Amino acid sequence: MKKILGISAFYHDSAAAITIGGQIIAAAQEERFTRIKHTPDFPTHAIKYCLEEAGLEIDELDAVVFYDKPLLKFERLLQTYYAFAPKGLLSFLKAIPVWINEKMFLKKQIYNGLKEIGPYNKKKLRLLFSEHHLAHAASAFLPSAYEKSAILTIDGVGEWCTASIGIGEKGQIKILKEMEFPHSVGLLYSAFTYYIGFTVNSGEYKLMGLAPYGDPQADETHKFVKLIKKNLIDIKEDGSIWLDQSYFNYATGLRMVKEDKWEKLFGFKHREPEAKLEQKHCNLALAIQIVTEEIVIKMAKEAKRLTDANFLCMAGGVALNCVANGKLLRENVFDDIYIQPAAGDAGGALGAALAVSSMYFGEERLFDPERDQMRGAYLGPEFSEKEIQMMNRKVKSVHHYYENFADLTEFAATQLTQGNVVGWYQGKMEFGPRALGNRSILGDARNPEMQKKLNLKIKYREGFRPFAPSVLAEKCSDYFDLNTGSPYMLLVAPVKEERRKELPENYSQLPLWDKLYFTRSDIQSITHLDFSARVQTVHKETNPRYWDLITEFERQTGYGLVVNTSFNVRGEPIVCTPYDAYRCFMSTEMDYLVIGNFVYRKTDQPDWENKEKWTVQFKMD
């Protein structure tokens, strides 16, 4: 059984993963340990965790694999600058020294990084490099429950490739079609992320969340869609795109777009971060979301045409666009869709390791038609009661310990029914950008004030941001039009018609904030403006504790779902350790914290009024 360490690093979302005999043992993002969101640094802490979880030393590994081929990427960089010369000189002068001093000597960086973790025999170490989009494809298909499927990967850019269509069968993957830089759906979406005032490689999900505030009937929205298609992009029938580079600056510049041309095209300037959001920003967000969905659906139809497969696996950063995923599912192009929960670059570490196991060493792929191999994405560290008690002594916490977990769930569910916000920290940390019930902040979905409270008093973030429901898998169809599982919160589905409230005729013309706080359903706090919700189905076999809590909440209220948002504040990575959780609890207006079987009430804690003592400043994302 081959023991393989996968690594992603040096761009963003550094991570590590270990597989043994094709089985996923552990995976984690470096940001969770260093508390620097989207860190590109070598994943020293994540690798240490993975090795400890696997019980391995570096010398016991059969291979270490990096998720990218740096020389191919460097070739793309040089060819791009050559093609656009003399444009891009400043960017060239800034980028080339970094490449020459750091990225051209990536092997050396990896060797040195591993030295920090522990001694090893460099001559014995087998260091491999996977192609970026193959790593994405492997991360989606190889852990899936499909023996055969089409594979669609879409992101910003790997080495040259920006999107690929492939086919996976048993343990093998064949790439059938690729789209190349500078034409990229991910970079197109990131360009609009930048123009509407959010951070590239971080704020794309905000752009997606803003889109439903756009008015689909407005002339301005239709105009924006037409302007995008006429001037920026040519969409082919197979979903491939051509981008007019005269409007963009990402290939050789220091910014995403040429702002003067965009201002002339759309009629308004680039929005500065934190500036007031206006309806035109919402309408433009909706326009690019509509265009993105069209591209993704066309690519999926091409994947179906090329492979004639019944199922589709997806990865790459654009696969985190759960609105597009939900629309694609409802198109019924495939019988079902599987999306890697860590679809971005972090998941590349896992995909690279799995690809080496199956395609390099020829190990038999582990496969179960009933469930995937991701173990609910609960692949990160967990902490013992002894470690929690050590934290309790360190912070001098006041807490109650429940011997009986059923008593704890009854108490926690009761607090939720009373409008309280509960930090819920259990077991192994999730891998990927979503909190799935082990590092979560919970609230009552029925409470019409919950979205506002969570955004402004807990997360300290923009008030327009939507929240997701965690719903008992067996009760999902009572609330949402969704006929498949969504354990990783990667599908948006409509709220059932019978749960919706009637809206006034002028609803779409109302100001942004009036629309937000208008009651739309009996599960108001997870119902977005377009009556959609980003659904997580909770399954007893993968997360029994979370399932028990929601079941108890249903017993008390008749509703088998809760609001679930990630356990962090704006700009902070999701909490990793019990101390991270307690500090976040103390620096917000969260009411209760549950760590394992320990319960903490805010008003019982020492220094609870001195919130500043616990506050850590994070760079806004």
pLDDT digits (tens, 9 = 90+) for 376-433: 999 999 999 999 999 999 999 999 999 999 999 999 999 999 999 999 999 999 999 9
Q: Distance between CA 76 and CA 99 in Å, rounded?
A: 12
User: Where on the phi/psi map is residue 453: left (φ > 0), alpha (ψ -120 to 50), or beta?
Assistant: alpha
DSSP structure string for 199-216 = -TTTSHHHHHHHGGGS-T
Global confidence as pTM: 0.94
> Would you say residue 509 has pLDDT above 80?
no
Q: What is the mean pLDDT of residues 347-362?
A: 97
Q: What is the CA angle 55-572-617, rounded to 5?
A: 125
pLDDT value of residue 518: 83
Residues 6 or more apart in contact with residue 295 via CB below 8 angstroms: 185, 235, 239, 241
Q: Distance between CA 26 and CA 229 in Å, rounded?
A: 43
Contact between residue 211 and residue 273 where contact means Cβ atoms under 8 Å apart: no
Name the H helices within 163-248. 185-195, 204-210, 219-227
DSSP 179: E
pLDDT band at 90 (very low <50, low <70, confident <90, very high): low
A 10 A CB-CB count for 268 gives 13
pLDDT value of residue 468: 96
E strand or H helix that includes residue 161:
strand 161-169
pLDDT digits (tens, 9 = 90+) for 421-475: 999 999 999 999 999 999 999 999 999 989 888 888 888 777 778 889 999 999 9
Residue with tokens 């004030």: 449
What is residue 618's three-state secondary structure?
coil
**Pair of tokens at residue 577:** 């350790």
pLDDT value of residue 13: 93
Give the strands of the sheet with 422-425, arranged side by side. 400-401, 598-601, 592-595, 422-425, 439-443, 561-566, 468-472, 532-538, 491-494
What is residue 417's three-state secondary structure?
helix
Residue with tokens 């990229």: 184
What is residue 61's three-state secondary structure?
coil
pLDDT value of residue 253: 65
> Would you say residue 153 has pLDDT above 80?
yes
> Would you say residue 316 has pLDDT above 70?
yes
pLDDT digits (tens, 9 = 90+) for 562-595: 999 999 998 899 999 999 999 999 999 999 999 9
pLDDT digits (tens, 9 = 90+) for 213-247: 999 999 999 999 999 999 999 999 999 999 999 99
pLDDT digits (tens, 9 = 90+) for 492-504: 999 999 999 988 8
Sorted by where each starts, the structural domains of the chain and their CATH numbers stand as: 3-143+346-373 (3.30.420.40), 185-330 (3.30.420), 385-614 (3.90.870.20)
pLDDT value of residue 609: 73
Calculate the alpha carbon distances from 441 to 330, 412, 453, 574 in Å.
30, 12, 12, 11
First to last CA, the chain: 41
Q: Distance between CA 96 and CA 403 in Å, rounded?
A: 59
Q: Distance between CA 74 and CA 78 in Å, rounded?
A: 6
Name the packing angle between helices 279-307 and 185-195 (round to 10°): 170
Contact between residue 553 and residue 562 where contact means Cβ atoms under 8 Å apart: yes
Which residues pair with residue 65 across a beta bridge? 6, 128
Whether cis (ω within 30° of 0) applies to the bond prior to 182 is yes
Contact between residue 122 and residue 111 where contact means Cβ atoms under 8 Å apart: yes
Which residues pair with residue 54 across a beta bridge? none
Residues counted in the chain: 621
pLDDT value of residue 8: 97
Q: Cα-flanking dihedrals φ and ψ of residue 3, to 5°?
A: -110, 115
Contact between residue 550 and residue 470 where contact means Cβ atoms under 8 Å apart: yes
> Would you say residue 82 has pLDDT above 50?
no
Contact between residue 536 and residue 469 where contact means Cβ atoms under 8 Å apart: yes
Which residues pair with residue 425 across a beta bridge? 439, 595
Q: What is the CA angle 376-9-168, rounded to 5?
A: 50
Nearest partner of 166 among 129, 139, 185, 184, judged by Cα: 139
Contact between residue 76 and residue 160 where contact means Cβ atoms under 8 Å apart: yes
Among residues of the chain, what percentage have pLDDT more than 70? 94
Cα 37 to its chain centre, rounded Å, is 12
